Amino acid sequence: MDLDLSGRSALVTGGGKGIGAAICRELSEMGARVVINYRADQRAAEATASALGDAVAFGADVGDPEQVAKMVAETGPFDVVVNNAGMLRDRLLLRMSVDDWDQVLRTDLSAAFHVTKACVPQMLRSRWGRIVNISSIVGLGGNPGQANYAAAKAGLIGLTKSVAKELGSRNITCNAVAPGYVHTELTKSSITEEQIAELVKLTPLRRQGTAAEIAAAVAFLCSPSAAFITGEVLVVDGGLAA
């Protein structure tokens, strides 16, 4: 299996911690030069970059196309893009504000559009590229209290399939990874221990996932060995959605 990304450059949005940091570690171990995007937690991003050696942390709000353009101009071009940045504002529909909706769609969906659009021209010139969008099983089946998050993650799947069809002829693949429940700082703050126990009970593998397991799936889709896979949604959930 060819997992070598030597000589390639990779951008991981929201890469400072959690699943993003695990993805950065995998891509770096495969030989890629990694740029770790962060919005607020500079310390975590710089710590991750320092641990990897040949990596750079860059602060930018990827929901803002001007900041994205500046980031790509200063740190790109990129052969590999992982749209991982995300946020939660969980509320039942009748209690969800317009701002709750807008901010989650901006960060979890629009940001992937801005970043992909900014990075694709170089991929087209080199006729090689890997784009991976981090969706969720919530985007496949919905979830009470997460109408905004579910809509954004479902939108990422539609974006993935459309981009795959547009760019496939130029040897650029675009896929999505849809994690189930993974223990991270973000998810831990939005779910109770009782809810975690119930999810584990419903998961055939009877445990939570890890950031490293999601990162391994992303790394494969970014590798030369995944050259004939595009437009797909790889569910990594321990069988929860089955």
Q: Considering only CA atoms, which of 28, 19, 26, 23 is closest in space to residue 210?
A: 19
Contact by Cβ (8 Å): 229, 173: yes
The Cα–Cα gap between 189 and 211 comes to 16
Q: Cis link prior to 77 (omega < 30° from 0)?
A: yes
SS3 letters for the chain?
Answer: CCCCCCCCEEEECCCCCHHHHHHHHHHHHCCCEEEEEECCCHHHHHHHHHHHCCEEEEECCCCCHHHHHHHHHHHCCCCEEEECCCCCCCCCHHHCCHHHHHHHHHHHHHHHHHHHHHHHHHHHHHCCEEEEEECCCHHHHCCCCCHHHHHHHHHHHHHHHHHHHHHHHHCEEEEEEEECCECCHHHHCCCCHHHHHHHHHHCCCCCCECHHHHHHHHHHHHCHHHCCCCCCEEEECCCCCC
Q: List active site positions.
A: 149
